[in-house]
Amino acid sequence: MGKCHIELSKQSIFTNLNCNTREEVLRVLSNSLLSQGFVTPNFFDGILKREKDFPTGLQTNSIGVAIPHADPKYIIHDSIALGILSKPVTFYEMANISNKVDVYIVFLLALTDATKHLRILQKIIEIIKDEQLLKQMLKQNNEELYLLISEKLLTTDCV
C-alpha cells in the first residue's frame, strides 16, 4: 500500500482564529491553500456551494467540528487546511440540515481522489470520536497541531 501524498503546511493551520461567520472561516482557510498553489481561484466558491447543498457540521459531545470540501475540479494538489476558532461559528449539521452546530474546529479538505478522501474522512472521524483529543487541539499552538495532524491524518494508506 502506498502512503497518501497530501500537502499540509504550517501556513494552512490556524490557531485562535477569530472569525464571525462560516464564510469568513472558509475564506481564510481556502485563501491559505490558494496562496500556496494547492487550489484554483474558484475553490472558495465551490466550497460555499457545496456547503449550502451538503452541510458538513458535526456535533460531538462538547465541540462542534466541520469538514467542508469542494469538487475535485477546483484542486491542483491534495491538501488540508485546519482552523481552530477562538469562538464558535455556525455551520449546519451534516445529518439534519435544519440543525445548527456551533463549530470550533474546521478541517478543510482539498482532495481529488475518492479513495483518498474516504481514508482521510475515516481518520478525521477517529479524531472527532476522541473528546480529549479535540479539547487538546483547542489549546495547541501551530507547531503542536502540525505535528498532531501530520501523525493522525497523513500516515494513512490510500490504496
pLDDT digits (tens, 9 = 90+) for 82-110: 999 999 999 999 989 999 999 999 999 99
Establish if 112 belongs to a structural domain: yes
Instruction: Return the amino acid letter for 103.
Output: V
Q: Taking the CB of residue 45, how many other CB atoms lie within 10 A of it?
A: 13
Please give the model's pTM, rounded to 2 decimal places: 0.93
Q: Which residues contact 130 (CB under 8 A, 6 or more apart)?
A: none
What is the CATH number for 130?
3.40.930.10
pLDDT-derived band at 22, boundaries 50, 70, 90: very high
Q: Are 157 and 4 in contact (CB under 8 A)?
A: yes
pLDDT digits (tens, 9 = 90+) for 123-137: 899 999 999 999 999
Where residue 90 falls (left for φ over 0; alpha for ψ -120 to 50; beta otherwise) is beta
- In the chain, the number of structural domains is 1
Establish if 1 belongs to a structural domain: no
Structural domain containing residue 54: 10-153
Interatomic CA distance for residues 66 and 101, integer angstroms: 9
